[in-house]
Homo-oligomer: A and B are copies of this chain.
Amino acid sequence: MFINENVKEIKISDIRIIAEKLQKYSNSINLTIGEPDLEVAQEIKEAAAYHALNSKIKYSPVGGLPELREKVAKYYNENFGGNYNINNVIITVGSTEALSSTMQTILAKGDEVLIPTPAYVGYEPLSNFYGAVPRFIDMRENNFSLTAEILEKNITEKTKLIILTYPNNPSGMILDEEEMGKIVKLLKDREIYLISDEIYASITFDKYTSFAKYSEELKKQLIIINGFSKSHCMTGYRVGYILTNEELQAQIKKVSQYKITSTSTLSQLAAITALDKCSDVSVAKEIYKKRVEFFVNEIEKIGFKCLKPKGAFYVFASYENIEKLKNINSLELAFDILEKIHLGLVPGSAFKVEGYVRFSIVHDIPVLKEAIERLEKYILEK
């Protein structure tokens, strides 16, 4: 029977295959998945329980509960210098639906989507879904630092959308502020949308500037995407959001309405409590920072070379200086490491960068230490 071409072409992701194979081993260490081991805050758990028992959990209005939309706008204005109100916000099924509903609204067949590497794995299939073509900008030459100049060089007549992800998954890099200003100038008068995927914005170890600061200058084209999965460890609650101008908000909302109706009302009520009572995430941030610094330090001792993460909870490490590994492609290496030492990591190829692997730093230091020890032994015995 017929299957849509854009769907048929999507392969099951390598991350998934590795994560599934890992389950065979009782002593496995899983550093593949972007999901922290930290617990959801007690206040949020209690709010969810309270509302399950005492509130009517009915359809939420399309676009989300007004109270949550209002609080998200306020949160972004206060924390990231935006200029948003309730009519700029759509609540989504995590940031995944935020991305897919937005891209479905603004893309058409033949459009090009510019994506600097390393790039989150979802951007490519989503571009393809809606008939657009992802164009990855190879950022290796500039040590993964995006500049306005690089962006400009890659813009063509077909460029409809640029997707920037800072703090970056997998590299943890953030955008240089001066370059950010130049990028804003570059895009200001063009018919090009900018998605700023800020899902890791609350997990930063350094000064971080959100594109929300430029919400007025880039009003017509800026779409900010974020959610509660990473900031509040609420992955399983599925609450994300979109911030954009009112006209575009109204268009994306129509897509979201017919695609999903809305995300869980119970989860939205829990998210209100997350903003009311748990918007200070500095404790979690400190934990991530300590773990990431430990891991970078230790893994460089055994020959890997890392981009120094300024946010998120990943370490993106090159193995090109390790003589015994440097000629192996990253997918092959990931599978070999999986089989030999039962350690799960993601090949750089998943993010369109060869010679690198990504470690998700989602466990505590003793587990990370064990992972490093296994890796050291693996290299020695190779």
Contact = CB atoms under 8 A, between A and B. Distances in A.
Nearest to A10: B254
B221 A1 contact: yes
B52 A129 contact: no
A251 interface: yes
A293 interface: no
A8 B251 contact: yes
B62 A108 contact: no
A3 interface: yes
A16 B62 contact: yes
A122 interface: yes
Contacts of A129: 104, 255, 258-259
Given A35-B58, A40-B57, A258-B126, A2 B267 contact: no
A19 B193 CA distance: 33
A49 B269 CA distance: 13
A226 B111 CA distance: 35
Contacts of A48: 48-49, 52, 266
A261 B1 contact: no
Interface in A64-109: 93-94, 96-97, 100, 104-108
Contacts of A52: 45-46, 48-49, 52, 270
Contacts of A206: none
A380 interface: no
A275 B283 CA distance: 39
A125 interface: yes
A5 B109 CA distance: 11
Nearest to A264: B264
B266 A125 contact: no
A264 B236 contact: yes
A40 B54 CA distance: 11
A3 B235 contact: no
10 cross-chain pairs, A with B, having the tightest CB-CB distances, nearest first:
A236-B265, A48-B52, A57-B236, A49-B49, A264-B264, A49-B52, A96-B261, A93-B260, A100-B259, A125-B258
Given A4-B106, A266-B266, 14 more contacts: A1-B221, A2-B108, A2-B160, A3-B105, A5-B108, A8-B251, A10-B254, A33-B59, A49-B49, A57-B235, A57-B236, A96-B259, A96-B260, A238-B263
16 contacts: A1-B191, A4-B104, A4-B130, A7-B105, A10-B254, A49-B53, A52-B52, A57-B236, A100-B258, A100-B259, A104-B129, A236-B264, A236-B266, A238-B264, A264-B266, A264-B267
